[in-house]
């Protein structure tokens, strides 16, 4: 998804590079990672209940509202969909509130990552597969619309954000959507037909070893989500067997 207007508005606050270089990018991306966006969300909720002026927020973070670093972090936080900025007022979005809440932060991190147009495009391209080396990844980022002068920054923000959101938890360097994504408002409920069938009778018809053999024999062709659904089904079966024993 190419978002020229989103990039232009967001880069107004990402002022460390020249405006000419930034506006060459035609897809929105943050100059800093999800970690900084989460820091701002937590500060807004903790100190001001979710809304503060830019002066207040910058002061709370120990910096100046005119500093390039602050503008970069605030611009990134907007691109993640965590805050809205109106007439100098910074306000948490619904996603921002969930990101600042420990009870919902894991799923919110995944949603925030996928909100970024560049990150979403990269995920769609490499879902479940290893990312290319740095040079190849930067070339792909450039192909998607990032200025060549900014591909290194975009790559660094992408990798740091993917790690924070849990996309590398299963296999480092491979974009696999974490199970917590099912709790996110953007994800759909798992489909029953994608779960490996488990027949149940008075004696629990499918032994656990047979389930794992099915996974080993057929799992290479499954999506990451289908594999996770299968594992979840096996866990539930184990719980049932433990209760009946």
pLDDT computed for residue 205 by the predictor: 43
C-alpha span between 242 and 69 (Å, rounded): 54
224's CB contacts (< 8 A; 6+ apart) are: 127, 128, 170, 176, 177
pLDDT computed for residue 11 by the predictor: 41
What is the reported pTM?
0.67
Q: pLDDT per residue over 68-83, tens digit each? A: 999 999 999 999 999 9
What value does the mean pLDDT take over residues 137-152? 96
What is the band of 193 on the pLDDT scale with cuts at 50, 70, 90? Answer: very low
pLDDT computed for residue 68 by the predictor: 94
C-alpha span between 17 and 149 (Å, rounded): 10
Query: Which of 64-73, 117-126, 229-238 has the least mean pLDDT?
Result: 229-238
pLDDT computed for residue 59 by the predictor: 95
**What percent of the chain is predicted at pLDDT more than 70?**
66
- Beta carbons within 10 angstroms of residue 135's beta carbon: 10
What value does the mean pLDDT take over residues 157-169? 96
What is the band of 227 on the pLDDT scale with cuts at 50, 70, 90? Answer: confident
pLDDT computed for residue 39 by the predictor: 96
C-alpha span between 212 and 132 (Å, rounded): 31
What value does the mean pLDDT take over residues 54-76? 94
C-alpha span between 98 and 83 (Å, rounded): 12
Q: Residue 47, exposed/middle/buried by CB under 10 A (0-12, 13-18, 19+)?
A: middle
H-helix or E-strand spanning residue 109: helix 105-115
**Mean pLDDT estimate for the chain:** 80
pLDDT computed for residue 231 by the predictor: 73
**What percent of the chain is predicted at pLDDT more than 90?**
61
């Amino acid at each position: 998804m190419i978002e020229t207007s989103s990039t232009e508005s967001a880069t107004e606050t990402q002022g460390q590079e020249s405006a000419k270089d930034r506006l060459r990018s035609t897809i929105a991306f943050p100059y800093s990672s999800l970690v900084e966006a989460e820091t701002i969300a937590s500060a807004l909720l903790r100190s001001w209940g979710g809304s503060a002026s830019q002066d207040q927020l910058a002061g709370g973070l120990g910096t100046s509202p005119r500093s390039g670093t602050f503008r970069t972090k605030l611009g990134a936080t907007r691109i993640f969909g965590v805050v809205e900025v109106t007439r100098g007022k910074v306000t948490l979005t619904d996603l921002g509130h969930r990101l600042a809440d420990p009870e919902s932060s894991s799923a919110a991190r995944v949603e925030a990552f996928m909100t970024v147009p560049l990150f979403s495009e990269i995920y769609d391209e490499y879902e479940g597969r290893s990312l290319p080396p740095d040079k190849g990844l930067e070339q792909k980022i450039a192909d998607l619309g990032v200025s060549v002068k900014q591909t290194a920054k975009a790559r660094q923000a992408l990798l740091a954000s993917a790690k924070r959101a849990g996309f590398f938890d299963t296999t480092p360097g491979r974009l696999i959507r974490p199970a917590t994504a099912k709790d996110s408002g953007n994800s759909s409920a798992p489909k029953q037909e994608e779960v490996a069938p488990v027949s149940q009778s008075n004696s629990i018809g499918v032994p656990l070893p047979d389930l794992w053999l099915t996974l080993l024999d057929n799992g290479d062709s499954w999506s990451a989500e289908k594999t996770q659904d299968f594992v979840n089904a096996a866990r539930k079966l184990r719980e049932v067997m433990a209760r009946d024993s």
